[in-house]
Structure 1
Amino acid sequence: MTMNSLAGIQRRMLEICPVAVVGNAPNYSRWNAESLQDRLIDLNDQANAIRSQAQREGRDLTESEAADVDRIIADFEAVENELGSRGSAGRKTAPGAPTGGGIVQRTSIEDMIRPNAAQTIAAMFPRDTHGFRNLAEFMAALASERGDSRLRVGPPIHAAGMTEGTGSSGGFLVPPQFLAEILGPAFVESGILSRVSVVPMTSSAVTVAGYNNTDSHAGGAIGGLTMEWAGEGQQLSSQTGKVRAVTMQAKKGAVMVEVTNELLFDSPAASIQLREIMSAAARFGLEAAILTGNGVGRPLGLLNDNAKIVIGKETSQAADTINYQNIIKMVARIHPSLLPGAVWVANPNTLTQLLNIQRPIKNVAGAENVGGDILPVFQTGVGGTFSLLGLPLVFSEALPVLGDAGDLVLASFSEYQLGMRMDARIDVSTELKFDYDKSVFRLILRADGLSRWDQALQPMNGDTLTWATMLEERAG
């Protein structure tokens, strides 16, 4: 590939997406995200084409080809940096607008003033790369076994208050900016992680406030404080909020990633591919812990939470089914103040049942069903989004399959506290997959989590209420 062909490609890209040009390079700040992603793919193809040509001819790169590759890599990094600098800033999530009946979603005051999970994650990690240009270069330094002064072992220097380090296990600390790039997309894109309350952990344990619902309280307010009415000059009684101290202890989770050495050392796209793989694995692991963790060596998840309410199946309900009565009873047991932020989570193989849920229509006497309708119950939106009774619905394979207890849950995940340590590390083995010419990396994250609730709340009147409900088993 010659400089003329490279110039032709650049001209083609500029025709597709006209931008201002700084020197000989486009000003990527004016490109949209889709065009930037296309540019990354194009640049990667260019570099691979040059290398492939040399390999077919059994020779090293010529000086001109090496210079071309260097320019491509520099251009690639400029695009990557532009994408990284944008992060999740400026992204707006359009609120769902049900077209039929159901629950109207509203934004609470707390949601407006409290940072969301993605914002908290972004704020946790300073823009420090430890001198590495990208994640691939950091991981290549780990695998090279030549030693690199930029690699750091022990507690990160930006967190002087930490009381324990990770150096004794031999792992190298992930530069905080790269860790933010791994975790950030997971928290932005996940319908579960994006809703939890993230608590930064600057030591191996942290104490946070939870709700103490051991006593019923008049008015049904969460927190145990009630309004008291008094006449002029009448003494008011002292009240103490029903708050309990909850300790989270960081627990270790690992993500294993096998990487071919060709990708690690040769591909300009390695950084993006590695980040996407690690982000997806971390996302799934954290979601699974939040949903199903038993609290032993991992977070305590929704299915094992003491405050959850299990909704029983209907009389004579067929095995492996979900019906209208199931879902309205689940909604009815969520605390009303939490409903606007609640979300359904279901195992993917429940979809056929959910698609066919109907609101039954009874005869005048109310003695039998004479029909039903679908649209006001289950709805599909733009881009493959779903809602059930007007509340968002997301899927997770971490939940049990259709018919097992917990195949469908409804929860306000803002009531779930996820403690995250900032000192993640990566270990590397070049021997484990030596015969495959692969390096094996192990990303170590430490986190803990549990809900604020110690048990379901008994309001002044009516049935107990909670932050999370689930369906019981409906086996044959």
Structure 2
Amino acid sequence: MKIDLFPSDATDADLQAYAAVAADFADAPLENADVGFLDWSELQSSRRALRNMRGELGEVQNPSAEQQRALKIAARVLQTINGELDRRSESGSREPRRTAGRNTSAEAGDDPRHPLARVAGDRPALSLVHGGGGGIGASRVLACFNGHDRGGFHDFGDFARAVATRDPRLFNAASGMQTGVASDGGAAVPVGFLRDLMAASLEQEAVRPRARVIPMPTGTVTLPRFDTTNRSTGVATLTGKPTAEGATAVAQKAKTTDIVLKATKLVCMVPCTDELIEDAGPTFGTLLSDFMAQAMAATVDDYLLLGTGVAQPVGVVNADCTVEVTKESGQAAATLLPANLAKMVARLAPASFGRSVWLAHSSVVAQLFTLTQTIKNIAGTENVGGFGPGWFTTAPDGTMQLLSRPLVVTDRLQPLGTSGDILLADLTQYIVGQVGEARLAVDRSVGFKEGETWFKLTLRLDGQPMHQAPITPRRGSDTLSPFVKLETRS
């Protein structure tokens, strides 16, 4: 019986080889099931198992015929699962097809009532509202890559070998190529491979999947926004004015400012020898795309978290609107105290708490596991006890929470003890502008004498917070922000 999960041209020997190898990997899909009927969690666990399987098989020096068959099938099953995950993300529903109706995720898309923004040249550009709903990053980024066409190639490695050998399929697959890449030189890569690479990059990123991602028709885009930084006199100076029956209403003018996005060009170029492409066989494409995705994910997060704003995005840590909480009096160097976390929550804009996430450097995690609230004597002169407040929790699937909000661990923040080692952030209040599609091109002419093929991944983007300064609350003196960091403890 032919099944949707596996490729239609797979032979019985292919499937038997896959089943034999996949049996060693937990959650690797084996049953005759259409992926459209799998739960979201089942799709994700299957994808993780398949990626682990590909990674381990990719490290085998001389894979057996059975392992090569299994790797080929795994790549195509993974393609099917990725396609289903993309379909659900784009539709806004994570529910399997057997479920009636639609359960729209908070991350499904922007409010359709957003005002129109303007671009250089006064051309209509995109929509933006200040302080709207949930983030839409991942689905919006992937929506830039139209289609899943792979140009007739089995995998990325197959495409790379075709470039090295001038395979005729390169000239027959023009309909599946990206637009606008030819000017970069070399061969344009089918959009299906680029989409997979971008999906893998997004999985490893901390900011972009949770931010507001908007398309930029040009390298510079100007967006209007309401200035809500001072709420002591209203929201953007607007208030509800008591008006008597028949009286003339008081006219008000909202305070507005502009956000200017100027795209930064990021390029990842990788040379690969003919011998590497040929000898690595079916594992080459997996290894190359995985490492390019890791490199791009690390670079994008570096800019969106720590960017200075000078010829690069304004990172969350360095943004003018980010509030920095002071350390405790007498606090030891390179430590994290419950009081630090409590004060960070207190400085978060109230509307942001339900959308916020913690981001922490990996060196901070040990402090969270040993988090202790000390008890002092009546005079307050010495510690007489302590207890764990229970604010930090872990789930069986490995996810973590801190004060009921998700915790994302990354090595792209500052290390323990340095300002920016831990953040509490509502990333829906951070804008990422992306110019068109990312571009992935392959060129053999550059390294022809050396027998090298060059792979070039190009991405143009910018990012900055939607607020230009901390928020002065309606009542109270402490400023608030969607982004809160902790002062250096040294």
**What TM-score, normalized by structure 2, do the two folds share?**
0.73
> Is the 8 Å Cα contact of residues 319 and 474 (structure 1) preserved in structure 2?
yes
The alpha-carbon distance between structure 1 residues 82 and 455, as it changes in their structure 2 partners (threshold 3 A), is: same
For 2:481 and 2:437, the matched residues in 1 are separated by: 34
- When residues 250 and 119 of structure 1 are mapped into structure 2, their CA distance, relative to the original with a 3 A threshold, is same
SS at match of 2:464: strand
- For the pair 1:241 / 2:257, whether they are aligned, the reply is no
One-letter code aligned to 2:323: I
Is the 2:14–2:73 Cα contact (8 Å) retained in structure 1? no
Q: Which has the higher contact order (CA 8 A, sep 6+)?
A: 1
Q: Equivalent residue for 1:422?
A: 436
Q: Note if contact 2:266-2:460 (Cα within 8 Å) is conserved in structure 1.
A: yes
Instruction: Find the aligned partners of 1:464 and 1:323 in 2 and give their Cα distance.
Output: 22
1:186 and 2:186 correspond? no
Deviates most, 411-420 or 27-36:
27-36
Q: Is 1:349 matched with 2:356? A: no
Residue 209 of structure 2 aligns to which amino acid in structure 1? S
Residue identity matched to 2:370: N
Conserved 8 A contact 2:232-2:475: no
Instruction: Tell me which residue corresponds to 1:84.
Output: 82
RMSD between superposed Cα atoms in Å = 4.3
Range that drifts further, 108-117 or 80-89: 108-117
Equivalent residue number for residue 329 of structure 2: 315
* Distance in structure 2 (CA, Å) of the matches to 1:4 and 1:107: 43
Give deviations 1:248-299, integer Å, cap 9, x for gaps: 1221112244546456346334443333222222222111111101122321
Residue 107 of structure 1 contacts residue 340 of structure 1 at CA under 8 Å; is this kept in 2? Answer: no
- What residue in structure 1 maps to residue 136 of structure 2? 116
What SS class does the counterpart of residue 252 from structure 2 fall into? coil
Which of 270, 277, 284 pairs up with 2:291? 277
Separation in 1 of the partners of 2:35 and 2:393? Answer: 39
Q: What residue in structure 1 maps to residue 242 of structure 2?
A: 229
Q: CA deviation at 1:29?
A: 7.0
What corresponds to 1:328 in structure 2?
342
1:294 equivalenced with 2:308 (yes/no) = yes
Distance 1:341 1:264 in 2: 45
CA distance in 2, matches of 1:5, 1:128: 27
Question: What is the letter of the counterpart of residue 324 of structure 2?
Answer: V
Distance 1:10 1:178, change over 3 A: closer
Taking the TM superposition and a 5 Å limit, the aligned residue runs for 1:156-175 are: 157=179, 168-170=183-185, 173-175=188-190
- Equivalent residues of 2:431, 2:465 under 8 A apart: yes
Q: Mean alpha-carbon deviation: is it higher for 241-250 or for 290-299?
A: 241-250
* Structure 2 residue 449 is matched with structure 1 residue 454: no
Equivalent residues, number: 428
Q: Which residue of 1 aligns with 2:223?
A: 208
1:342-421, aligned counterparts within 5 Å? 342-361=356-375, 370-421=384-435
- For residue 149 of structure 2, the aligned residue among 113, 126, 129 is 129
- The AA in structure 1 aligned to 2:171 is S
Aligned partner of residue 302 in structure 1, secondary structure: coil
> Contact between 1:152 and 1:172, CA under 8 Å: does it hold in 2?
no
Verify the 8 A CA contact 2:88 2:94 in the aligned structure 1: no
2:100 alignment partner in structure 1: none
Give CA-to-partner distance per residue, 1:78-124, whole Å, 9 cap, x none. 53442332234558999xxxxxxxxxxx9799999666211112222
CA-to-aligned-CA distance 1:43-97 (integer Å, 9 cap, x gap): 988x942499xxxxxxxxxxxxxxxx8x889856653442332234558999xxx
Tell me if 1:253 matches 2:266: yes
Q: Structure 1: which amino acid aligns with 2:289?
A: R
SS in structure 2 at match of 1:19: coil
Structure 2 CA distance for aligned equivalents of residues 87 and 110 of structure 1: 16
The CA distance in 2 between the partners of 1:175 and 1:187, in whole Å, is 19
| Displacement after TM superposition at 1:413 (Å) | 0.7
- Does 1:465 find its partner at 2:485? no
**Equivalent in the alignment of 1:160:** none
User: What CA distance in whole angstroms lies between the structure 1 residues aligned with 2:440 and 2:18?
Assistant: 37
Q: Label 1:361 to 1:390 Cα distance change in 2 as closer, same or farther (>3 A).
A: farther
CA contact (8 A) 2:207 2:305 kept: no
Mark the runs of 5 or more structure 2 residues left unpaired by the alignment. Answer: 1-10, 24-28, 96-104, 112-132
The alignment's TM-score, normalised by the length of structure 1, stands at 0.75
Work out which of the two has the higher radius of gyration on C-alpha atoms and give 1 or 2. 1
What's the counterpart of residue 149 of structure 1? Answer: 171
Deviation by residue 1:115-167 (Cα, 9 ceiling, x = unmatched) = 621111222221053735343344444444679436879x954xxxxxxx665
Alpha-carbon shift at residue 4 of structure 1 (Å)? 9.0
Quote the Cα distance in structure 2 between the aligned partners of 1:427 and 1:421. Answer: 17
| More moved, 262-271 vs 318-327 | 262-271
Q: Which moved more, 1:3-12 or 1:289-298?
A: 3-12
| Amino acid in the other structure paired with 2:220 | A
Q: Is the 8 A contact 2:145 2:195 kept in 1?
A: yes
Q: Is 1:125–1:422's contact at 8 Å kept on the other side of the alignment?
A: no
Tell me the amino acid that sits aligned with residue 325 of structure 2. I
**Matches of 1:77 and 1:325 in 2, distance apart?**
48
Decide whether aligned partners of structure 1 residues 251 and 316 sit closer, same or farther in structure 2, where only a CA change above 3 A counts: same
**Aligned equivalents of 1:198, 1:278: Cα separation in 2:** 21
d(CA) in 2 for partners of 1:4, 1:335: 59
Match for 1:177 among 192, 203, 218? 192
Give the SS at the match of 1:184: helix
State the identity %. 28
Cα separation, 2, equivalents of 1:108 and 1:144: 44
Contact residue 250 and residue 421 of structure 1 kept, 8 A: yes
Secondary structure, in 3 states, of the residue corresponding to 1:255?
strand
CA distance in 2, matches of 1:385, 1:288: 22
More deviation, 290-299/132-141 = 132-141
Question: Could you say what secondary structure the match of 1:120 adopts?
Answer: helix
Give 1:18 deviation, angstroms: 4.2
CA contact (8 A) 1:360 1:371 kept: yes
